[in-house]
Amino acid sequence: MTDSRASNPVSGLDGWCDDKGHIYPLKVYYEDTDAGGVVYHANYLAFAERARSAWFSLIGIDQNQYLQSGLAFVVAALEVRYHRPARLGQELRVVTQLANMTGVRAMLDQKITDTHGHLMASLNVQVAQASLGGRPCRFDADVKSKILATMPPQNHEITFSGKVALSHKKGH
């Protein structure tokens, strides 16, 4: 996997992909904090959502196009763990990695760190595609292939229904 910043200089707004996954940088602003200058707990979810949307944009998944056709990407399940507080003015990174994928769900690991690599929060997120009425549906082939193409090397044996879906290992 290559660093997408080199091939697309405008992509800085959406972060970049490298061997760690998708990296989304952000800065903590006053609106993100409580009265003590600490990031309000729910804003970590907003940071992670923004990073997921930026990742989709960066890899060519146009969420507006899907909305216009009656489909949305939704969070089906989420687990968050807070490790240390982020503070006003701090620069953070949201690192998103694909942990597993089925025909209907993408399981993502998201880590929010400071620029020194200190872990602030970790999230396990299950993303699904659904109709605007809320009915789940299978990911279309284009979405699956774009998501799978970004996964880090340690996850190259992700399967669909017991079959290897994509592999970067020799002989596959």
Torsions phi, psi for 141 (to 5 deg): -60, -40
Smallest Cα–Cα separation from 143: which of 70, 59, 79? 59
Q: Are 129 and 71 in contact (CB under 8 A)?
A: yes
Where does residue 75 rank: exposed (0-12), middle (13-18), buried (19+ CB within 10 A)? middle
DSSP 104-131: SEEEEEEEEEETT--EEEEEEEEEEEEE
Catalytic one of 19, 34, 140, 142: 34
Give the span between the Cα atoms of 86 and 120, in whole angstroms: 6
Joined together, the tokens standing for residue 89 give 């003015």
Give the span between the Cα atoms of 125 and 80, in whole angstroms: 8
Is 18 tagged catalytic? no
Q: Residues with catalytic annotation?
A: 34
